[in-house]
Amino acid sequence: MLKLNKLVEKRDAEGILEYAKEFHGHICPYLALGIRASLIAMEELGVGRLDYSGSVDESILAIVETNSCFTDGVQVATGCTLGNNSLIYVDTGKTALTLVKRETWEGVRVYADSEKLRELYPPRATKLFNKVVKERRGTPEERKELWRYWEEIAKEFLHLPKDYFKIERVKVPPIEQAPIFESIRCSKCGELVMAPKVVYINEKPYCRACAGEEIPAIIGRGITSWRCSK
Ligand SMILES: [Zn+2]
Ligand SMILES: [Zn+2]
């Protein structure tokens, strides 16, 4: 298997999808769409996949607006991940990727319109999707049939013509590099907490969970408040 950076350099979308399948767990249309959008954005911006030093310096950032399968395609193709602080999640709920150079804050935003893409789905696939995924029912045979359609549509999405997307040059307001904070120990659970997340009650430090605060969390519906049962 070729290295991912090489596959991106050669614009081998099928090869990238193989890696993405390992990472994401399955092949689906929006995983492929994330790869396609990334390849377009990298080409338009004239950059490659994050390399060793780029991933340390956060030289390129990927700003995603959805936490769907699309975003896993973006992480695999661009190398910008949640963990290397090069993936920024903006909670607008749109299928869009903005790739931006930290050097100049010039970026390219690639937006995909789900309604426009829907016309590419065979009617049978839409029917199966509603039954198996939306309503969470469907026989094992129907599930298998859906996955077959999914792979088929995904392979088509890997090579979607650019005019299926809205592609625009954007200037992105500068985003700070991930700061390193000191850690403070919670006086209830004894765990270490990143300083800005510490809550003081009667001058004693607590983690947000022990303080009983609502904590912003990214769940299926996006960023929302969540109460941890610690
Ligand atoms: Zn998926
Ligand atoms: Zn605690």
pLDDT tens, the chain, 230 aa long: 679 999 999 999 999 999 999 999 999 999 999 999 999 999 999 999 998 777 777 799 999 999 999 999 999 999 999 999 999 999 999 999 999 999 999 999 999 999 999 999 999 999 999 999 899 898 999 999 999 999 999 999 999 999 999 999 999 999 988 889 999 999 999 999 999 999 999 999 999 999 999 999 998 889 998 887 65
> Which 3 state secondary structure label does DSSP give 209?
coil
- 225 C-alpha to ligand 2 centroid (Å): 18
Classify residue 176: in a domain, yes or no: no
Ligand nearest to the CA of 25: 1
Statement to judge: residues 19 and 80 lie in one domain: yes
Statement to judge: residues 207 and 163 lie in one domain: no
- 189 C-alpha to ligand 2 centroid (Å): 4
Ligand nearest to the CA of 186: 2
Classify residue 30: in a domain, yes or no: yes
Amino acid 182 reads E
Ligand nearest to the CA of 70: 1
Q: Domain limits at 219? A: 183-226
35 φ, ψ to 5°? -65, -45
State how beta strands 106-112 and 165-171 pair. antiparallel
Compute the residue count for the chain: 230
Statement to judge: residues 90 and 158 lie in one domain: yes
Ligand nearest to the CA of 67: 1
Which is nearest to 120 in space by CA: 157, 69, 165?
157
Q: What angle do CA 125, 7, 100 make, to 5 degrees?
A: 85
The whole-angstrom separation of Cα 217 and Cα 109 is 25
